[in-house]
Chains A and B, each alone.
Chain A
């Protein structure tokens, strides 16, 4: 019998913070947190889990990216101008505007690249995982992880640059 209370006590805060870092919204982070543990339960029914922290971090990242993509699709449907995913209403007002804007732009860009690439990118760049750790958790070779990360960075750079140029053009137009 898995001691879920102990797992939630030990790993829950890190899981939630990982979700919040990507979603910047408490309500979304709460749901992502819940989905992560339910996915972990489902997975643990099929196979033994040897590394709970790694599994939960990977599942959280994957669920959060999935939510970012859904948000993006919804915004497109609603035809809302979307240079960056809007920040949640309850964000800390003390956050610096520029950092918030940059982080929002990255979240928006992450929703636009392939899921696997986004996942590998987040685990490495935001989670601090090594290529080896990612390879073990995602079931890829270390080389494949490197290639995927390289592609993710290239695509993100392109999107961020484009967003930057669009944003600059809009600002320029407003100033006229």
Chain B
């Protein structure tokens, strides 16, 4: 445009109009966006018309918020899966002992969710931690602010959208005392991860050596846990983190960067309250049942995937045509239906997100040590005695959990694992 500074004003405008018209446009929205819109319309249509729609519509279920919420659900279940698959309680080393003394902390965070190859959602924000398990994250994405408060004692998490005055809760059900709550553990969970890695309990650890990170001397570790990669840069003198990068490489790719850690700062308890402020509308809560084995999420999602695929299980669990496409297929199938059948409610959408998030979280937590295999390609749902997935809880486990095509599960001895060709897993055979 700068080359045309002597151009008449009208000519510039006409060229700008032509440019706007000629820029290529994608064909339309992603199917899951259509699905959300349809669910919102159906839910809103069922409400009394006298109510002010703008006050009751669940706007947090916009694409950005859904992507972030799905990511939150995925990470929560992944954490649970990690806890349940790494065996016994961990011995904390010196580093973790130091960090565990921290009573409060703040940090900056950037979360990037790559929803499709050409579409990503970026959220910048600040995180706050108050012992024993309270966490508050304030993020801004696309100019819209959201506040997430997690309470690991109440096993409850709430997402506030101040612009629309709405509150969405995630409740964890049946949290065992032994397992503990994964909520409020962005900070402490990281410590546990370091401890596990350092103690050689899970994942591969690579020392990254000494470097200057964010202007400070730091020592780094790279930890690989299946499709999860975590880089931790810590201060060699204090053992406290300087920068943490968390990358989930399987779709949808999630990249979380935490920096600018401050510890033992003054934080008012009211910042971590779960009491919904006046004027906010509370949405239907999303529930995650921790009494379910993490593999149950996979089983439930595989059932949905098979239903959407003519009764046949999907070819792959991960990658381009992996399970994350279930939401799109679900949306497409609804768009092709008419009448009452095409009326998904927000509860159905939340239910789908919960199952899918759990399944992806479970898969993300698998490592080669779990010796997992998927053999569901071209297999029909309900085929008797047909294993479609099997894995072991940890390296020294004497048994494998086998998932069958009727979605039943059985523990079998290591010597009795299915002798079938698998299409995906730690070692295809």
Contact = CB atoms under 8 A, between A and B. Distances in A.
Contact of B28 (A17, A38, A70, A90): A17
A93 to B, nearest CB: 10
A161 B2 CA distance: 10
A176 to B, nearest CB: 15
Contacts of B342: 5
A112 interface: no
Interface string A43-56: 00100000000000
Nearest to A87: B23
B7 interface: yes
B177 interface: no
Contact of A33 (B2, B19, B29, B334): B29
Given A27-B64, A33-B29, A103 B9 contact: no
Contact of A27 (B57, B119, B338): B119
**A-side interface mostly:** helix
A75 B345 CA distance: 37
A70 B143 contact: yes
Given A27-B64, A45-B49, A98-B1, A125 B17 contact: yes
A79 interface: no
A3 B10 contact: no
A31 B27 CA distance: 16
Interface residues of B, number: 58
Contacts of B37: 8, 12, 33-34, 37
Interface string B330-344: 000011111100110
A126 interface: yes
A30 interface: yes
Interface in A1-27: 1-6, 8-9, 12-13, 16-17, 20-21, 24-27
Nearest to A101: B1
A164 B13 contact: no
A70 B145 CA distance: 14
Contacts of B334: 5
Interface string B23-63: 11111111001101110111011000100011001010011
Contact of B29 (A29, A38, A95): A29
A106 interface: yes
26 contacts: A5-B339, A8-B34, A9-B336, A12-B29, A12-B37, A17-B26, A38-B53, A41-B44, A45-B49, A74-B143, A94-B24, A99-B19, A99-B23, A101-B1, A102-B1, A102-B12, A102-B19, A106-B16, A106-B17, A107-B20, A153-B13, A156-B16, A160-B13, A160-B16, A164-B1, A170-B2
